[in-house]
């Protein structure tokens, strides 16, 4: 896939994730922008995309953040340059946006974002009482197929955080789901939230952001992906989000 095709896929993915927050075409012919806000903090990022991005050149960005002081802005500039260095040759706009979201406090410290999911580090009390926690009704969405890869979402309403582990374990009792290449997870309950990429880098955080955009709480979404041997590029994130949306519609949690 050439640079132009990768750019088009990335724009489609970002538009699916951030919706109207992602403004395509502002700031110049190849410029795109997004406003990131948390409390009284507002950060505007504008990206100019070189024709040879991502293979040879990183995006060029400008930042406007009137509520941040000089030191805070410098920390963000430094962090974004580190993202550039870590992702040379790869698309990176999502990583840049999520890094800023993290730094201005959108993700609370106990949320464990980014990083290893707390779902895999369940406290002893949850493990001990897991058998006494009832598994909620799990709705299984339709399967999406693309070049021999398959995606299917599973959603449920949570009545307590302990059910996160119960839902995941219940799903993995199904041989087909247990054998999936990735079982990507995101959940929100009250003020707590978390995700697990399960080896599909950045997929869990995208799924969590989808729940936040839809303002869904007390819900868990797991998207199973069976890899078919053909790389899908950023299309895989679009399929993960679309599978999740379809399952949420099927469960009656959102409108079509």
Q: Is 127 helix (H, G, I), strand (E, B) or coil?
A: helix
Element (H, E) at 223: strand 219-226
CB 162 within 8 A of CB 126: yes
Under the banding of pLDDT at 50, 70 and 90, the label for residue 128 is very low
Q: Are residues 116 and 221 in the same domain?
A: yes
**Is 255 a domain residue?**
no
Rounded-to-integer distance, Cα 139 and Cα 156, Å: 6
Name the domain boundary from 103, 138, 154. Answer: 103
Name the domain boundary from 49, 69, 103. Answer: 103
Q: 100-120: per-residue pLDDT in tens?
A: 988 887 644 333 333 333 333
Residue 222's domain is classified under what CATH number?
Answer: 3.30.230.30
Q: Are residues 118 and 155 in the same domain?
A: yes
Q: Are residues 128 and 217 in the same domain?
A: yes
Please compute the mean of the pLDDT values over residues 23-40 and round it to a whole number.
74
Q: Are residues 241 and 122 in the same domain?
A: yes
Q: Are residues 176 and 54 in the same domain?
A: no
Q: Are residues 152 and 242 in the same domain?
A: yes
Lookup: tokens for 128: 């001990």
User: What range does the domain containing 53 cover?
Assistant: 3-103
Q: 206-256: per-residue pLDDT in tens?
A: 899 888 888 889 999 999 999 988 888 878 888 998 999 999 999 888 876
Q: Are residues 59 and 153 in the same domain?
A: no
52-87 as b/e: b if 16+ CB within 10 A = ebbeeebbebeeebeebeeeeeeebeeebeebeeeb
DSSP 215: T
Global pTM reads: 0.58
Q: 34-87: per-residue pLDDT in tens?
A: 998 888 888 999 998 888 998 888 888 899 998 888 889 999 999 998 888 888
């Amino acid at each position: 896939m050439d640079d132009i095709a990768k750019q088009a896929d990335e724009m489609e993915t970002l538009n699916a994730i951030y919706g109207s927050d992602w403004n395509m075409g502002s700031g110049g012919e190849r410029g795109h922008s997004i406003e990131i806000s948390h409390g009284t903090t507002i950060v505007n990022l504008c990206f100019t995309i070189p024709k040879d991005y991502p293979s040879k050149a990183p995006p060029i960005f400008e930042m406007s953040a009137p509520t941040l002081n000089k030191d805070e802005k410098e920390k963000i500039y430094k962090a974004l340059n580190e993202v550039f260095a870590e992702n040379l040759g790869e698309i990176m706009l999502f990583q840049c946006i999520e890094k800023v979201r993290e730094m201005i406090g959108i993700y609370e410290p106990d949320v464990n974002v980014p990083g290893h999911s707390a779902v895999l580090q369940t406290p002893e009390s949850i493990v001990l009482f897991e058998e006494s926690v009832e598994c909620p009704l799990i709705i299984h969405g339709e399967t999406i197929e693309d070049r021999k890869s398959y995606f299917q979402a599973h959603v449920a309403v949570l009545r307590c955080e302990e059910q996160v582990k119960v839902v995941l374990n219940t799903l993995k009792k199904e041989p087909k789901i247990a054998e999936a290449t990735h079982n990507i997870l995101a959940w929100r309950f009250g003020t707590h939230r978390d995700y697990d990429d399960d080896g599909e880098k950045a997929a869990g955080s995208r799924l969590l952001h989808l729940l936040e955009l839809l303002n869904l709480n007390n819900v868990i979404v797991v998207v199973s992906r069976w890899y078919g041997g053909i790389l899908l590029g950023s299309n895989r994130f679009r399929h993960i989000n679309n599978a999740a949306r379809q399952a949420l519609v099927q469960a009656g949690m959102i409108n079509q």
